[in-house]
Amino acid sequence: MSDLLQFVFSGLTVGAVYALVALGFTIIYNASDVVNFSQGEFVMLGGMSTVFLSAAGVPLPAAAILAVVITALVGVALNKFAIEPARNASVVTIIIITIGASIFLRGVAQIVFDKQLHRFESFSGDVPIEILGATILPQSVWVIFGAAVIFTGLYLFFTRTLTGKAVLATANNRLAARLVGINTNFIMTLSFALSAAIGAVAGVLVTPITLTSYDIGIALALKGFAAAMLGGMGNPFGALVGGLVVGLIEALTAGYISSTYKDAAAFIVILAVLFVMPSGLFGRAAVNRV
Amino acid sequence: MTFLTSLKQATAALALIGLASSPALADIKIGASLSQTGPASFLGDPEAKTLKMLVDEINAKGGIKGEKIELVMYDDAGDANNARTFATRLIEDDEVVAVIGGTTTGTTMSMIPVMEEAEVPFISLAGAVVIIDPVKKWVFKTPHTDKMACAKIFGDLKARGLTKIGLISGTGGFEMSMREQCLKLAPEFGMEIVADESYGPKDADMTPQLTKIAGVAGLQAVVNPGFGQGPAIVTRNFRQLNIQVPLYQSHGVASKSFIELAGAAAEGVRLPAAALLVADKLPDNDPQKPVVVGYRDAYQKATGAQVSTFGGHAYDAFMILTEAIERAGSAEPAAIRDEIEKTKGYVGTGGIVNMTADDHMGLDLSAFRMLEIKDGDWTIVE
- For residue A124, is it within any domain? yes
User: Quick check: B240 and A10 CB within 8 A?
Assistant: no
The structure's pTM equals 0.83
Which residues is B166 bridged to in the sheet? B195, B222
Give the integer Cα–Cα distance in Å for A26 and A30. Answer: 6
> Who among A110, A116, A251 is closest to B37 (CB)?
A110
Residue A271 distance to chain B (closest CA, Å):
20
Q: Which residues of A touch B208 (CB under 8 A)?
A: 6-7, 10, 251-252, 254-255, 259
Q: What is the pLDDT of residue B367?
A: 84
8 A C-beta contact, residue B226 and residue B249: yes
How many domains are there within chain A? 1
Domain that residue A95 falls in: 2-276
Residue B370: strand, helix, or coil: strand
Q: What is the pLDDT of residue B21?
A: 41
Rounded average pLDDT per 10-residue block, chain B, 382 residues: 56 50 63 88 90 94 89 92 95 94 91 95 90 92 90 94 94 85 93 92 89 92 89 93 93 84 92 88 90 93 87 94 92 93 92 92 89 92 82
Q: What is the pLDDT of residue B6?
A: 59
Distances (CA, A) of A222 to A40, A110, A279, B42, B205: 8, 20, 18, 23, 17
User: Quick check: A209 and B198 CB within 8 A?
Assistant: no
Residue A122: strand, helix, or coil: coil
Distances (CA, A) of A179 to A35, A169, A175: 25, 11, 6
Q: What is the pLDDT of residue B127?
A: 83
- For residue A115, is it within any domain? yes
- For residue A284, is it within any domain? no
Q: Where are the alpha helices (DSSP H) in A161-261?
A: 162-172, 174-179, 184-210, 216-231, 236-252
Q: What is the pLDDT of residue B22?
A: 41
Which residues 102-121 on chain A approach chain B with CB closer than 8 angstroms? 110, 115-119
Q: Which residues of A touch B239 (CB under 8 A)?
A: 126
| Among candidate residues B58, B50, B69, the one with its CA nearest the CA of residue B311 | B50
8 A C-beta contact, residue A22 and residue A151: no
Give every residue of chain A whose pLDDT is below 50, as ranges.
none
| Among candidate residues B254, B256, B210, B264, the one with its CA nearest the CA of residue A121 | B264
Label residue B330 exposed, middle or buried (CB < 10 Å: 0-12, 13-18, 19+): middle
Q: Count the Cβ atoms, other than its own, within 10 Å of residue B221.
A: 19
Residue A252 contacts B where some CB pair is shorter than 8 Å: yes
Amino acid symbol at A209: I
ipTM: 0.86
Could you give the angle at the alpha carbon of B309 between the alpha carbons of B159 and B288, nearest 5°?
70
Residue of B nearest to A12 (CA): B205
Query: What is the side-by-side strand order in the sheet with B369-374?
Result: B192-199, B164-170, B221-224, B247-249, B270-273, B369-374, B377-380
DSSP secondary structure letter of residue B67: B
- For residue A286, is it within any domain? no
Phi then psi dihedrals of residue B283, to 5 deg: -65, 150
Q: What are A12-37's pLDDT values in tens digits? A: 999 999 999 999 898 899 888 889 99
- For residue A281, is it within any domain? no
- For residue A285, is it within any domain? no
Q: Count the Cβ atoms, other than its own, within 10 Å of residue A59.
A: 9
Q: How many Cα atoms sit within 13 Å of B35 on the Cβ side?
A: 24
- For residue A288, is it within any domain? no
User: Quick check: A9 and B211 CB within 8 A?
Assistant: no
Q: What is the pLDDT of residue A112?
A: 92
Q: What is the pLDDT of residue A286?
A: 60
User: Quick check: B207 and A115 CB within 8 A?
Assistant: no
Q: What are A157-216's pLDDT values in tens digits? A: 999 999 999 998 988 888 899 999 999 899 999 999 999 999 999 999 999 998 999 989
Question: What CATH code is carried by the domain that includes residue A194?
Answer: 1.10.3470
Q: What are B154-178's pLDDT values in tens digits? A: 999 999 999 999 999 988 777 888 9
Q: What is the pLDDT of residue B344?
A: 92
Distances (CA, A) of B3 to A281, B14, B17: 103, 16, 21
Q: What is the pLDDT of residue B10?
A: 55
Q: What is the pLDDT of residue A285?
A: 65
Q: Where are the alpha helices (DSSP H) in chain B?
A: 2-26, 41-60, 80-92, 105-118, 146-159, 173-185, 207-214, 230-240, 256-262, 289-303, 309-328, 333-341
> Who among B42, B208, B263 is closest to A116 (CB)?
B42
- For residue A89, is it within any domain? yes
Task: Let me know how many helices (H) and strands (E) chain B has, helices first.
Answer: 12, 14
Q: What is the pLDDT of residue B13?
A: 52
